[in-house]
Structure 1
Amino acid sequence: MEQDTEFDTAAAVTRSMLGWGVVAGPFYLVVGLVLALTREGFDLARHPLSALMLGDGGWMQTTNLALSGVMVCVAGVGMTRATARGAGIAVGIYGLAMVASAIFPPDPMPGFPPGQDGATTLSVSGVLHFAFGGIGFIAFAVAAFLLGGWLTRHGERDRALWSRIAGAVILVGFVGGAALGPAGVAGIWVAVVVGFTWLLLASVRLYREVPHPVVARR
């Protein structure tokens, strides 16, 4: 008896795109932490991961940031295809901001690269890096708020609340961290970790929204 093997390519592509939303955060954080623990002078309590773009070996973190940004962009497209259009567009903006931040390295920070002491002057590249970072984190927070609305419309109030809380934490963490300078690096860390955790969970949730590619298994 011949089986129905009709295959929905669009559904398969959407699911694959959402899979990158699961991978992006762990990839960025694991690679970044390995670099942080092996680069002389880098202090997790004082320096954000973006500082690893500076000095010898800085290309590795630049590549990490750019590749992770591309993964986030792909996940954003997947979210729009899975009906969460507003959240997906905002996630895509965050991914583009990551790629742009990789093009413009930050300014040196006290203690990193090794031998850097005291305050440094602002450069065009440093200002652009910070500006793209700000645009990205705001977009990330907006994505979480928008997905909260989408979840509410689907009757998932608990998940919607968690998504909105994540958005608030991302926003407050970044703004607070940026305002406090080196002393606020913990806020940046919180924004990054919570943001990527939200992206992972959001991608998993929306993955279930997409029909199985094999029509007979729906």
Structure 2
Amino acid sequence: MDEAISAARPVDRAGSDRALLAGGVLAGPVWVTVALVQGLTREGFDFRRHPVSVLSNGDLGWLQIANFIAAGLLCVGAAVALRRARHPGLGPRSGPWLIGQYGVGLVLSGVFVADPLDGFPAGTPAGPGEVSWHGFAHFAAGAVAFTALIAACLVAGRRYGRQGERGWAAYSVATGVFFAAAWLALIGSGGRPFAMIGFALAVVAGWAWVSLTLTRTLRD
């Protein structure tokens, strides 16, 4: 009996790890879908003027708050599984740590709500408005998440390159560089429409990279 229980434990862990990785794969598509539907349907929101973070305000703000927290927790869970899985690009330490850090940043982005901005929610004065303490904390949490995601892409690109997997290496590096460039453009432009749209596309690209990378681990 004891031998049967001991033999079952590795199987149970493998099953739980696959579930955690699957959750990480789904985090991005769910996050993007929820944010996109809100952005297209909530009064006063404009992707050319508003970052997705401001959707955390208003009567339906809880949807985006939950979106941030759920996606972050799924990424943290995937990072735990990655520590035990052999991933050719992310490795056993730095990659899982960075994916986990990305998840923690997302959770904190939900806990600390961004400030209303430039007419959203409806009734908010035009312009950037004042930054509250929780708005500042939201920016800091975003910086944690974005930095971790960029670093994870570059780390994976380097590891893939060393292993001769040029396609995955190029894809990972390109995603990290695109995300970093879009983020810097957003900061440097003060939120101009082209930068807002560019950064929104970079966020989608970053989530796609996370999902595809974790899918590879599941497949292998």
Which TM class, normalised by the smaller chain length? 0.7 to 0.9
Map of 1:79 onto structure 2: 82
TM-aligned CA deviation for residue 190 of structure 1: 2.3
State how far apart, in whole Å, the 2-side matches of 1:208 and 1:181 are: 42
Map of 2:189 onto structure 1: 180
Instruction: List alignment gaps of at least 5 residues for structure 2.
Output: 1-6
SS at match of 1:155: coil
State how far apart, in whole Å, the 1-side matches of 2:128 and 2:24 are: 37
State how far apart, in whole Å, the 2-side matches of 1:19 and 1:61 are: 21
Identify which of 23, 26, 42 aligns with 1:23.
26
SS at match of 2:67: helix
- Check conservation: 1:178, 1:188, Cα contact below 8 A: no
Report the number of matched residues: 205
- Check conservation: 1:90, 1:142, Cα contact below 8 A: yes
TM-aligned CA deviation for residue 181 of structure 1: 2.8
Find out whether 1:115 has 2:92 as its counterpart.
no
User: Over the residues paired in the alignment, what is the CA RMSD in angstroms?
Assistant: 1.8
Map of 1:213 onto structure 2: none
SS at match of 2:190: helix
State how far apart, in whole Å, the 1-side matches of 2:219 and 2:33 are: 26
Find out whether 1:144 has 2:153 as its counterpart.
yes
Code of the aligned partner of 2:66: T
Structure 1 consecutive aligned stretches of length 4 or more whose deviation exceeds 3 Å: none
Map of 1:57 onto structure 2: 60
State how far apart, in whole Å, the 2-side matches of 1:162 and 1:22 are: 17
Q: How does 1:90-101 map to 2 (within 5 A)?
A: 90-101=98-109
Give TM-score scaled by structure 1 length: 0.87
Find out whether 1:43 has 2:61 as its counterpart.
no
SS at match of 1:132: helix
- Check conservation: 1:104, 1:125, Cα contact below 8 A: yes
State how far apart, in whole Å, the 2-side matches of 1:23 and 1:14 are: 14
Find out whether 1:199 has 2:200 as its counterpart.
no
TM-aligned CA deviation for residue 82 of structure 1: 1.7
State how far apart, in whole Å, the 2-side matches of 1:202 and 1:165 are: 14
State how far apart, in whole Å, the 2-side matches of 1:13 and 1:200 are: 18
Instruction: List alignment gaps of at least 5 residues for structure 1.
Output: 210-218
Map of 2:110 onto structure 1: 102
TM-aligned CA deviation for residue 16 of structure 1: 1.9
TM-aligned CA deviation for residue 39 of structure 1: 1.0
TM-aligned CA deviation for residue 164 of structure 1: 1.1
Code of the aligned partner of 1:109: L
Q: Over residues 76-111 of structure 1, what are the superposed CA-to-partner deviations in whole Å (9 max), with x where a residue is unaligned? A: 222222232311110110100000111111111112
Code of the aligned partner of 1:41: G
State how far apart, in whole Å, the 2-side matches of 1:74 and 1:173 are: 27
SS at match of 2:142: helix
SS at match of 2:127: coil
Identify which of 34, 37, 43 aligns with 1:34.
37
